[in-house]
Structure 1
Amino acid sequence: PVLRLLDVARELRAGSFARLPPRFACITFDDGSDYDWRDAAFPGHGVQRSMSSILRSHSRKLLGLAWLKRAHATSFVIASPRARHEIAASALGDPGLMSDSWWREAQRSGLMDIGTHGWNHVHPAVSEMASRPELVERFDRIDNPVDAGLQVDRAYESIHARAGGDAGRIFAYPYGQVSEFIAAKHLPAQRDVVAAVAVEPKPLQAQTDPWRIPRYVCGPDWSSDEGLEALLARE
């Protein structure tokens, strides 16, 4: 089955991982473009089907009416409106393609949770990073309470205020780069975020550190239907 990541994280934290099915998967996607929730045109490529549309189609096919009660994916979004505007302009050619206007609807849908991907992704296109060149694309270098508070606490507060519900409860390290300060000190000391995901390609186990949950990533770890099927078939 495809399970809600937040539910899995809570079982992991509670020491009740054995209550979960012996084999399952969770679906996540990073950065929070509007394509996660809305079908929209991409320049030169026409209308792109959103992740939510794909999830709805497969959920209806597999679960019938029961799909309405399931959350099947987590979209990790960037908190700072300015950062999203600048990243979308640079990476997608349209500053409006990483909006927050769909977050609350998605969180309420029972189909998708809104997770946090930090304040600004320490992305090179973000103007505020000009004063912190040592952190650009190096999230793992965050090593103090001020920077951690911005990327974790302020990001959570901003995302939760916009999306409500359980939004922001799961954190995804930008670029998959684990900050030892955040993972070992900052996250365990706060109460809002319950788990964090990285990109180490291995299965989740009962003894997994909830602040370093592994993920298999499309591209580096699989790039075709057959590749994904092979991963899922592993013992």
Structure 2
Amino acid sequence: MERGALSLLSGGGRRAPTILIYHRILPEQDKLFPSEVHRAQFDRQLAWLKTRFNVLPLLDTVRLAAEGRLPARSACITFDDGYADNAEVALPVLQKHGLHASFFIATGFLDGGRMWNDTVIESVRRAPVDVLDATSLGLGRHAVGNWEQKRQAISALIGQLKYLPMAERLEQVGKVAQLSGAVLPQDLMMTTEQLRKLHTAGMGIGGHTVNHPILARLDGAEARREIAQGKAALESALDAPVRVFAYPNGKPGQDYLAEHVAMVRELGFEAAVSTSWGASRGATDWFQLPRFTPWDEGMGKFSLRMARNMLQPAARV
């Protein structure tokens, strides 16, 4: 897809940019999740993006748009959660192409932590058995003898656990890990040193709470603490202000509500992003910016999906 067509579809002036969301960039293709973006694929995507879009820092797009000066075909690259491969694999590729990205960090997982979904994934991946029997937890019995069975088991378990209250979910996940008999990795998430490495390289750092809870499932005071304490921890580690935020999970009306948008604004952020696909329509809400998840291996399909995303109106609360 060429620049002229993209200019007709994309934002500019006071309209929001196209925002891509990544989580992990793996060194090579993963047999368990072959559609997970890996280094060579990320390299191809960045090469394509830089020839067709004005790739800008997220905070810069907010400030330019406030003045009505955002260029057409503006795009931003973002990462969620704080995986170590963001610093070790993604950063060198970004630097190769001279591009900027913003990284949203859940601070409770820095320095040896592990997100609950990764505990499930790695428990299933590394289980030294052909069947993971979690019936004692009310989570069923799952064949895990090959890659397809593992994928199905992971999907089923995460689906059952995702919307449990945070404490109950963590307890259940810990029991799943014990039942699996797997030895789990301790280095999936960033260290504080890797966080500072990204910041020193000029990348953007944003808030993503402390424990990555679903804000809509918390009471107001707890949700506010999660947002505020995550921001404070990042600012302390970096000795720099943190101005952008990403809602955990990020589905409007399901994972966050209007009250959480108000909290983010009140806590001093300048913008926030959701995980709603599509493009902003009407007046841009800079505290509910939609984002797009790219996954196509071939660049032809990738570009068509980008175009389709820009035609779809995004949801917001």
Q: Does residue 1:19 correspond to 2:57, yes or no?
A: no
* Residues 143 and 180, structure 1, Cα contact 8 Å, conserved in 2: no
What 5-or-longer segments of structure 1 have no aligned partner? 39-49, 60-70, 123-137
* 1:24-52 deviation digits (Å, cap 9, x = unpaired): 110011111110011xxxxxxxxxxx111
SS of the equivalent of 1:147 reads: helix
Letter in 2 for 1:10: R
CA spacing shift, 1:109–1:208, aligned 2, 3 Å: same
Q: Does residue 1:73 correspond to 2:73, yes or no?
A: no
CA spacing shift, 1:27–1:205, aligned 2, 3 Å: farther
Q: How does 1:1-235 map to 2 (within 5 A)?
A: 1-12=54-65, 15-16=66-67, 18-38=68-88, 50-59=89-98, 72-81=100-109, 85-87=113-115, 90=119, 91=121, 93-98=184-189, 99-110=191-202, 112-122=203-213, 138-144=214-220, 146-166=221-241, 168-176=242-250, 177-183=255-261, 185-191=262-268, 193-204=269-280, 207-219=283-295, 224-233=298-307
- Looking at structure 1, the residues matched to 111 and 193 of structure 2 have their Cα atoms a distance apart, in angstroms, of 15
SS of the equivalent of 1:51 reads: helix
* Residues 245 and 264, structure 2, Cα contact 8 Å, conserved in 1: no
* 1:8-31 deviation digits (Å, cap 9, x = unpaired): 12334xx32x30111111001111
- Looking at structure 2, the residues matched to 94 and 213 of structure 1 have their Cα atoms a distance apart, in angstroms, of 33
Q: Which has the larger radius of gyration?
A: 2
Shift of 1:216: 0.6
- Looking at structure 1, the residues matched to 94 and 248 of structure 2 have their Cα atoms a distance apart, in angstroms, of 24
Identify which range, 204-213 or 26-35, moves more after superposition: 204-213
Q: Which has the higher contact order (CA 8 A, sep 6+)?
A: 2
- Looking at structure 2, the residues matched to 101 and 83 of structure 1 have their Cα atoms a distance apart, in angstroms, of 9
Shift of 1:104: 1.6
- Looking at structure 2, the residues matched to 162 and 227 of structure 1 have their Cα atoms a distance apart, in angstroms, of 40
- Looking at structure 2, the residues matched to 223 and 152 of structure 1 have their Cα atoms a distance apart, in angstroms, of 35
* 1:193-229 deviation digits (Å, cap 9, x = unpaired): 211100111224672111111001235xx66533331
Q: Provide the TM-score with structure 1 as the length reference.
A: 0.70
RMSD: 2.6
SS of the equivalent of 1:149 reads: helix
Q: Provide the TM-score with structure 2 as the length reference.
A: 0.53
* 1:134-168 deviation digits (Å, cap 9, x = unpaired): xxxx3323341x212222111100011112334x3
CA spacing shift, 1:55–1:159, aligned 2, 3 Å: same
Shift of 1:7: 1.0
* Residues 215 and 260, structure 2, Cα contact 8 Å, conserved in 1: no
CA spacing shift, 1:232–1:26, aligned 2, 3 Å: same
Aligned length: 188
CA spacing shift, 1:82–1:27, aligned 2, 3 Å: closer
- Looking at structure 1, the residues matched to 219 and 298 of structure 2 have their Cα atoms a distance apart, in angstroms, of 37
Letter in 2 for 1:85: G
- Looking at structure 2, the residues matched to 205 and 188 of structure 1 have their Cα atoms a distance apart, in angstroms, of 21
Q: Percent identity?
A: 27
* Residues 142 and 179, structure 1, Cα contact 8 Å, conserved in 2: no
* Residues 114 and 163, structure 1, Cα contact 8 Å, conserved in 2: no
SS of the equivalent of 1:25 reads: strand
